[in-house]
Amino acid sequence: MAEARKGCPDDTFVQNVLFPRLEARLQTRHGKGTEAVQTLSIAQQYENGTYFETHIVRGDAYLAARSPDDAAAEFRKYLDRRANAPFTSDYAVAQLGLARALAAQHDTANARAAYQDLFAMWKDADPDAPILNDAKAGYAKLQ
């Protein structure tokens, strides 16, 4: 990734949004949620425009850092902007993140509602999709 960054030093999107997102995803997968949140700090100045998907990445990082309140806030920021990109599948991903954050907060009633909203969004999805099965498993734990 460092080599790729050198190839486009003047590209603001690549340097300040794309690569920080990628790096944060890697950090999150390695259990370094706090570091991932810090990595994304450079992207914050671009989140109110076109690049608001960073809220999802940050929400996942906060979940990994065991900060479900902050995670829920990030997922809600993304979900509140549905009109900005109405046809993206990222809303379902953010809805799943919100459900997981609420479950981590032990807010069972709202977590159930968030999962139900997700299932309504994905009512026509492939029933064997791994992410949908993960969501169903998360929802079952709330019962």
Domain that holds residue 134: 2-141
Average pLDDT of the segment spanning 86-90: 80
Q: What is the pLDDT of residues 75-87, one digit of tens each?
A: 999 999 877 777 7
Report the share of the chain in percent with pLDDT over 70.
100
Q: Is 115 in contact with 139 (CB distance < 8 Å)?
A: yes
Q: Is the pLDDT of residue 48 over 90?
A: no
The stretch 46-58 carries a mean pLDDT of 86
Return the CATH number at 126.
1.25.40.10
The pLDDT assigned to 74 comes to: 95
Q: What total of structural domains would you count in the chain? A: 1
Across the range 91-98, mean pLDDT stands at 94
Q: Is the pLDDT of residue 19 over 90?
A: yes
- pTM for the structure as a whole: 0.90
Q: Which residues of 13-51 are buried (b: 16+ CB within 10 A; e: fewer)?
A: ebebbbbbbebbbebbeeebbebbbebbeebeebbeeeb
